[in-house]
Structure 1
């Protein structure tokens, strides 16, 4: 999902907005000089690898600290301590995190954006703190990991920030207007990403309540019960619904995006909310987690449609 988000953000969303009226023949020249897009394809590949390695490190450290909980929550899927030793897992964690940091810092320095390297360091530290401490707290851990997922879109756009290399005032203002449009669209996708992931994280906590009790976590379902926790997830789902309605209202002139949003995101969300309201068993919450992941996927894939509405 992380790699797909980055690829679609750059090659579907950003390229569609800035290069929709540019011929393929002149693409390479304009891609590197006309608007001063920061990353070349090679640099973007390094950036993507950096994010993927840091993400992998996050999963590894999370599994290391969750061994006892996972033995209860998903005994057939426990890897650390079964297929791989804890010592090797730590080595793999350090290797992926450090390599991810080095690649991210390299891209930052080679694009003359050295300060951006702190994003990678901050993400690694946040993932460690989340796995070690924050995951066990009330909503804070859920929010942290959701924001980090939204950060993937932000970093991709940030590294591909347009910089006009023209003295033509009309061209400069045109590029500025396009940049503002990209900013608004980026914020929309980030909010969608944070809300959907936050809802899914709460549902996963409800699923994993037995294992979390083992590690003395203080998650929402442990402190207030599964039913109340599901109602909190429903509250955020209602917030997501309102947000989507506002977005869809602004797309009345973009028929393709409007229909896609209604059929592939809005209707599944309404069905999700209905099933969430009546859900009681772990199996039902597991299905809801999968359904929310599908809604997240449909939301990200909608970036492809910009190639049609802006062409």
Structure 2
């Protein structure tokens, strides 16, 4: 169990679930050619999960001091797992994940795409050692990495199967993946700010310069609120333009009930949030919004299938 906590297995399961969902609940239902076979796509998911697991492992190594204050129950490095063992796990996971990425890049005859896996692995290490201590920049980096896990599906499964005959069709599906990547970025960026507010005591003791440390918890919460309102308005406009205008009533109901309503709840609740427990609750709400937002792809796919 200590090794599973080291790599944050719950987050990895959600990442894998998201990637499997996009392919088998959406892309596979659209009668379009895909570049990877089922087992090769499984390798893509595995590669993504391994590199993310390596990122969590190295982050836990550098987070021992802050987690001892903020989340002592989550500390595993030095309490069951030695630092040397954690480093070895990090190296093994990264090498395996990047090696699979190299293989898949050659499978689709785009060897240059292997750079993506190296860049993601490098950014995760750079985040743990440097970026997380820089105001806002670390939050952006984490949010971008989650978006990349959505876009990489299009890069490896759609783009190589695109030709002159299906270019417009494939572009529309890639556009949908891009929309979800932007959604994931917005929600995860807000969540990272909330997590910084939640962890402000431990981060302050370690000399970090996160947003709540630089401008205070209340001002950071206001910034998270403003971004959440912007996200709410953008989602409302998106739902109206793509769901309401096309008479996708079931998708519209789902989006309002499971994405917009919880986001509105977050906007209301952040006004009175003061304690670490309050911000932890808000972080969980955002995680659920992200999950339900991703699950909406199933509702969209079913709607397309039965109304085609």
Q: Whole-Å Cα distance in 1 between the matches of residues 204 and 169 of structure 2?
A: 50
In the TM superposition, residue 207 of structure 1 has moved relative to its aligned partner by 0.6
Q: Within the alignment, does 1:188 sit opposite 2:179 as a pair?
A: yes
Q: Whole-Å Cα distance in 2 between the matches of residues 231 and 164 of structure 1?
A: 44
Q: Within the alignment, does 1:271 sit opposite 2:268 as a pair?
A: no
Q: Which runs of 5+ in 1 are unaligned?
A: 20-34
Would the aligned equivalents of 2:162 and 2:170 in 1 still touch at CA under 8 Å?
Answer: no
Q: Whole-Å Cα distance in 2 between the matches of residues 77 and 153 of structure 1?
A: 28
Q: Which runs of 5+ in 2 are unaligned?
A: 1-13
| RMSD across aligned positions (CA) | 1.3
1:42 corresponds to which of 32, 39, 42: 39
Aligned residues: 288
In the TM superposition, residue 13 of structure 1 has moved relative to its aligned partner by 2.2
Secondary structure of the equivalent of 1:81? coil
In the TM superposition, residue 36 of structure 1 has moved relative to its aligned partner by 4.2
| Structure-1 residue corresponding to 2:20 | 7
Q: Whole-Å Cα distance in 2 between the matches of residues 279 and 36 of structure 1?
A: 48
| Structure-1 residue corresponding to 2:11 | none
TM normalised by structure 2 equals: 0.91
Deviates more, 1:116-125 or 1:154-163: 154-163
Q: Within the alignment, does 1:301 sit opposite 2:301 as a pair?
A: no
TM normalised by structure 1 equals: 0.90
| Structure-2 residue corresponding to 1:148 | 145
Q: Whole-Å Cα distance in 1 between the matches of residues 259 and 303 of structure 2?
A: 18
| Structure-1 residue corresponding to 2:196 | 205
Would the aligned equivalents of 1:9 and 1:157 in 2 still touch at CA under 8 Å?
Answer: no
Q: Within the alignment, does 1:113 sit opposite 2:110 as a pair?
A: yes
Q: Whole-Å Cα distance in 2 between the matches of residues 15 and 83 of structure 1?
A: 43
Structure number with bigger Rg: 1
Deviates more, 1:256-265 or 1:3-12: 3-12
Q: Whole-Å Cα distance in 1 between the matches of residues 23 and 76 of structure 2?
A: 34
Q: Whole-Å Cα distance in 2 between the matches of residues 197 and 210 of structure 1?
A: 21
Q: Whole-Å Cα distance in 2 between the matches of residues 73 and 39 of structure 1?
A: 43
Q: Which has the higher contact order (CA 8 A, sep 6+)?
A: 1
1:225 corresponds to which of 212, 216, 225: 216
Deviates more, 1:99-108 or 1:7-16: 7-16
Secondary structure of the equivalent of 2:207? coil
Would the aligned equivalents of 2:58 and 2:87 in 1 still touch at CA under 8 Å?
Answer: yes
Residues 98-123 of structure 1: per-residue CA shift (max 9 Å, x gap):
11000111111122111110110000
Would the aligned equivalents of 1:12 and 1:306 in 2 still touch at CA under 8 Å?
Answer: no
| Structure-1 residue corresponding to 2:65 | 68
Secondary structure of the equivalent of 1:161? helix
Q: Which 4+ runs in 1 deviate beyond 2 A?
A: 162-165
Would the aligned equivalents of 2:158 and 2:174 in 1 still touch at CA under 8 Å?
Answer: no
In the TM superposition, residue 57 of structure 1 has moved relative to its aligned partner by 0.3
Specify whether residues 4 and 119 from structure 1 end up closer, same or farther in structure 2 by C-alpha distance, changes over 3 A only: same
